[in-house]
């Protein structure tokens, strides 16, 4: 059974860089059928897609975050990661990693989600 687990600091200082890793178990990240993505949810608010990555390294980003975000994949460790630079209080959220099943490149839907990790940006 596929499982995704987010890890990283729960507290980040304003203007610094947020770094999270998603470890995939129960299946290989090397698959032509999936992207791997990050989605976040500020407290009490809705879902916001951040970025997707393919095992080969191809990436897709939310245009509103693209200038501050980097998504990457480490196939040897079955992990993918997220970096968000110059964080502010607006970046405080639960961050989810998820598997995205490809329908028609690059369209996909998220069929497996991690439990999420709360990141708070402090001043």
Partner 1 sequence: SYELTQPPSVSVSPGQTANITCSGDKLGHKYASWYQQRPGQSPILVIYQDKKRPSGLPDRFSGSNSGNTATLTISGTQPTDEADYYCQAWDSNTEVFGGGTKLTVL
Binding residues for partner 1 (CB under 8 A): 37, 39, 46-49, 52, 60, 62-64, 96, 100-101, 103-104, 106-111, 113-116
Least CB distance to partner 1 at residue 111 (A):
5
Least CB distance to partner 1 at residue 15 (A):
26
Of 14 and 106, which has the nearer Cβ to partner 1? Answer: 106
Of 57 and 106, which has the nearer Cβ to partner 1? Answer: 106
Least CB distance to partner 1 at residue 14 (A):
26
Residue 86: strand, helix, or coil: coil
Q: Which residues of 93-103 are buried (b: 16+ CB within 10 A; e: fewer)?
A: bbbbbbbbebe
CB atoms within 10 A of CB 122: 11
- Helix, strand counts (H, E) of the chain: 0, 11
Of 10 and 46, which has the nearer Cβ to partner 1? Answer: 46
Least CB distance to partner 1 at residue 38 (A):
10
Of 16 and 41, which has the nearer Cβ to partner 1? Answer: 41
Q: Which residue has the tokens 């879902």?
A: 47
Measured between alpha carbons, how far is 10 from 13 in angstroms, rounded to an integer? 10
């Amino acid at each position: 059974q596929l499982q995704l687990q987010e890890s990283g600091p729960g507290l980040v200082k304003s203007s610094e860089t947020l770094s999270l890793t998603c470890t995939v178990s129960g299946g290989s990240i090397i698959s032509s059928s999936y992207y791997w993505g990050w989605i976040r949810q500020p407290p009490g608010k809705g879902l916001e897609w951040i970025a997707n990555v393919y095992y080969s390294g191809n990436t897709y980003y939310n245009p509103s975050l693209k200038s501050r975000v980097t998504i990457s994949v480490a196939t040897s460790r079955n992990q993918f990661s997220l970096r968000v630079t110059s964080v502010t209080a607006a970046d405080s959220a639960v961050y989810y990693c998820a598997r995205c099943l490809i329908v028609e490149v690059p369209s996909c839907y998220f069929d497996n989600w991690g439990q999420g990790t709360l990141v708070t940006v402090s001043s």
